[in-house]
Amino acid sequence: MASPELAPPAPDRATPPQWIALWLDLMAACDELVLAGLRREIGPNGDLRAAYRRWYGEQMEEHDRMILRLAAGLDHRGGGHAW
C-alpha cells in the first residue's frame, strides 16, 4: 500500500461537489486499472466483458465470505443481535 505522503494534497476548503468530483475521478482511475489488468491477463483478443464479469463475481464471493466471517465473529462475541 502506498504511503499517504505520496498522495496529492486535498483542497483545504473543498465544497461537497468538489469532493464528489474527486471521488468520481478516483473511482474512474480504479476502473481503468482493473480493466488494464484484465486486458493484460486475457490479451488483446480476449473477451474483456467476460473477464470483468468473472473478476467481479470473484470479488463479490470474497466480499460475502468476509461478511459471513464478520457476522460469525459478532455472534461468537455475543454482539450479533445489536439491532
Q: Is the pTM of this model over 0.75?
A: no
Q: Which one has a higher pLDDT value, 25 or 76? A: 25
Structural domain that includes position 72: 18-76
Question: For 31-64, what is each residue's pLDDT tens digit?
Answer: 999 999 999 999 999 999 999 999 999 999 999 9
Classify residue 12: in a domain, yes or no.
Answer: no
Classify residue 47: in a domain, yes or no.
Answer: yes
Classify residue 10: in a domain, yes or no.
Answer: no
Domain total of the chain: 1
Classify residue 9: in a domain, yes or no.
Answer: no
Spell out the residues 6+ positions from residue 22 whose beta carbon is closer than 8 angstroms to its own.
10, 14
Classify residue 32: in a domain, yes or no.
Answer: yes
Question: For 13-25, what is each residue's pLDDT tens digit?
Answer: 889 999 999 999 9
- Taking residues 61-69, report their average pLDDT: 97
The pLDDT of residue 1: 65
Classify residue 5: in a domain, yes or no.
Answer: no
